[in-house]
């Protein structure tokens, strides 16, 4: 589907709630399926990725019922062999977390993915799981994965990557085996798995960047999932760069492992404020007030902040085209392993729009402030975050742009355009 995006002159105004957090939605399905009893998940994400996880746990024998955005999971904490391959679709989180769950089961499983997922690196989870005793066949470290039944043993794993998917995979494998399993990461990645496991009664402890887990029985959860800061990011950036904008984003997840974008905006001098910060189901939540900011300044984004804003870098690169001076993004080489090579893809597409942007091996350098000219067609690379970031860029282009294959937005945010239209005054 092609999407025409026009310059937005009137500004964004109003109060909106973006869809539920994708990361937390995956974990809610996985952990409630592993718990004994009935869990109720309210405000489950409507994105395709969390639905890939949901369908897989149904195929693994869990009784899951959907009623609008409310999902009820009834489980006796046992999984059963699926006679058909488990399709993870476009979702790296599904494939990597699920591998940790399935590696120690007494049945074999096959995990498949779409074209993009089948190109993404799985060695990062195959390696630690193999050290634990797992038997996994792959095609040179890529999907499809054939996970053979195996008896696992605990390990202390030092990960080279700050990756919540790798960390969570190992923790989920460790949850089912005797002894202490630990994972240490170079700096902290998102910790939703740890928080949810703890709230469900798991024997889990965090010390700095190391997490320890022991075999645990999980109690069911009743959880209401907060809005996804990664989806809010498109509206935050749009409001910052479109004159006359002022919006409130309600009930957004503000877990410190996810709020790197807010720190960057504050450093750039952006007009952003958190209102009514509170805790819901173990996660920090608040409302975000954000408005047009004329004098944003470029900055360096590198080091420990990278995992705290990894999914927001495409839209931050759009923001950087509208800030004064230089923005340098470093240490983000893993962006090349996402749904697309997000460094090369964003640089190529923003250049087409007229941005002064350059690719580096581990990031990009953007010089602003540039009047984006637009008047061209851009590509999404089958990547939802590219689709939405380019949409935001289109809103400040002088001439309209045409985004090809915009339907990839459905991976995380099917109602994106409807919500944009609701805040255009
Ligand atoms: C996610 C972790 C991150 C992130 C992805 C979701 C998760 O990936 O980019 O969109 O839910 O655990 P990595 O762990 O590969 O950095």
Q: Is 311 a catalytic residue?
A: yes
Ligand 1, atom nearest to 165 Cα: 14
Q: What is the pLDDT of residues 302-342, one digit of tens each?
A: 999 999 999 999 999 999 999 999 999 999 999 999 999 99
Q: Per residue in 72-95, pLDDT tens?
A: 999 999 999 999 999 999 999 999
Pocket probe for ligand 1: among 45, 48, 92, the residue whose CB has the most ligand atoms within 8 Å is 92
**Paired sense of beta strands 222-224 and 204-207, if any:** unpaired
Question: 267 CA distance to ligand 1 centroid (A)?
Answer: 24
Q: Which atom of ligand 1 is nearest to the CA of 167?
A: 14
Residues 6+ positions from 308 with CB-CB distance below 8 Å: 188, 190, 256, 257, 258, 259, 260, 263
**pLDDT the model gives residue 9:** 87
Q: What does the domain layout of the chain look like in residue ranges?
A: 3-20+226-423, 22-224
CB distance 243 to 12 below 8 Å: no
pLDDT band at 425 (very low <50, low <70, confident <90, very high): confident
Nearest-atom index, ligand 1, CA of 163: 14
Predicted local distance difference test score (pLDDT) of residue 245: 98
**For the CA of 23, the nearest atom of ligand 1:** 11
Nearest CA to ligand 1 atom 9: 311
Helix (H) or strand (E) holding 391: helix 384-394
Burial of residue 333 (number of CB atoms within 10 Å: 0-12, 13-18, 19+)? middle
Residues with CB under 6 A from ligand 1: 23, 93, 163-165, 168, 189-190, 310-311
- Please give the distance, rounded to the nearest whole angstrom, from the Cα atom of residue 325 to the centre of ligand 1: 30
Nearest to 322 by CA among 290, 357, 368, 291: 368
Do 77 and 111 contact (CB within 8 A), yes or no?
A: no
Alpha carbon nearest to ligand 1 atom 10, residue:
311
For atom 11 of ligand 1, the residue with the nearest CA is 23
Q: 18 CA distance to ligand 1 centroid (A)?
A: 19
Does the global pTM surpass 0.95? yes
Q: Does domain 3-20+226-423 have CATH number 3.65.10.10?
A: yes
**Checking DSSP bridges between strand 210-213 and strand 181-184, what pairing results, if any?**
antiparallel
Say how many C-beta atoms besides its own lie within 10 A of residue 179's C-beta. 12
Second-level CATH architecture of 22-224:
Alpha-beta prism (3.65)
Which ligand 1 atom minimizes the distance to the CA of 307?
Answer: 16
pLDDT digits (tens, 9 = 90+) for 93-115: 999 999 999 999 999 999 999 99
Q: Which of 311, 331, 334, 383 is catalytic?
A: 311
Residue percentage of the chain with pLDDT more than 70: 100
- Choose which residue among 49, 164, 192, 388 to substitute to test ligand 1 binding: the one with the highest number of ligand atoms within 8 A of its C-beta: 164
Do the two domains 3-20+226-423 and 22-224 of this chain adopt the same fold? yes
Ligand 1: residue of 24, 97, 123, 165 to mutate (most ligand atoms within 8 A of CB) is: 165
Å from CA of 8 to ligand 1 middle: 32
State residue 351's pLDDT score.
98
Q: What is the structure's pLDDT at 407?
A: 98
């Amino acid at each position: 589907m092609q999407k025409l995006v026009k310059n937005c002159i009137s500004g964004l105004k109003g109060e909106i709630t973006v869809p539920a957090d994708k990361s937390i939605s995956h974990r809610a399905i996985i952990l409630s399926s592993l718990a004994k009893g009935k869990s109720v998940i309210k405000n489950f994400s409507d994105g395709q990725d969390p639905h890939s996880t949901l369908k897989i746990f149904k195929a693994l024998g869990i009784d899951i019922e959907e009623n609008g955005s409310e999902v009820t999971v009834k489980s006796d904490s046992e999984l059963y062999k699926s006679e058909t391959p488990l399709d993870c679709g476009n979702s790296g989180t599904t494939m990597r977390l699920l591998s940790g769950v399935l590696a120690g089961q007494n049945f074999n499983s096959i995990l498949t993915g779409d074209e993009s997922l089948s190109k993404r690196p799985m060695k990062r989870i195959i390696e630690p799981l193999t050290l634990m005793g797992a038997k996994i066949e792959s095609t040179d470290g890529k999907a499809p994965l054939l996970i053979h039944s195996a008896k696992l043993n605990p390990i202390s794993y030092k990960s080279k990557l700050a990756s919540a998917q790798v960390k969570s995979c190992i923790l989920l494998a460790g949850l089912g085996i005797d002894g202490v399993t630990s994972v240490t990461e170079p700096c902290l990645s998102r910790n939703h798995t740890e928080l949810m496991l703890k709230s469900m009664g798991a024997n889990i402890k965090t010390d700095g960047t190391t997490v320890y887990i022991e075999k645990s029985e999980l109690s069911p959860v009743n959880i209401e999932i907060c809005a996804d800061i990664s989806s809010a990011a498109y509206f935050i950036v749009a409001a910052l760069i479109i004159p006359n904008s002022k919006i409130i984003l309600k009930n957004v997840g503000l877990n410190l492992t996810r709020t790197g974008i807010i720190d960057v905006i504050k450093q750039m001098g952006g007009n952003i404020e958190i209102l009514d910060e509170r805790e819901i189901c173990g996660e920090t939540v608040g409302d975000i007030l954000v408005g047009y900011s004329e004098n944003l300044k470029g900055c360096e984004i590198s080091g420990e902040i990278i995992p705290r804003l990894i999914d927001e870098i495409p839209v931050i690169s759009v923001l950087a085209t509208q800030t004064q001076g230089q923005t340098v993004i470093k240490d983000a080489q893993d962006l090349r392993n996402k749904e697309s090579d997000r460094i090369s893809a964003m640089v190529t597409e923003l250049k087409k729009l007229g941005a002064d942007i350059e690719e580096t091996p581990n990031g990009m350098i953007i010089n602003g402030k540039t009047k984006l000219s637009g008047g061209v067609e851009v590509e999404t690379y089958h990547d939802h975050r590219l689709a939405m970031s380019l949409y935001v860029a289109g809103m400040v282009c002088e001439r309209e742009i045409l985004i090809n294959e915009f339907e990839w937005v459905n991976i995380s945010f099917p109602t994106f355009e409807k919500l944009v239209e609701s805040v255009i005054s």
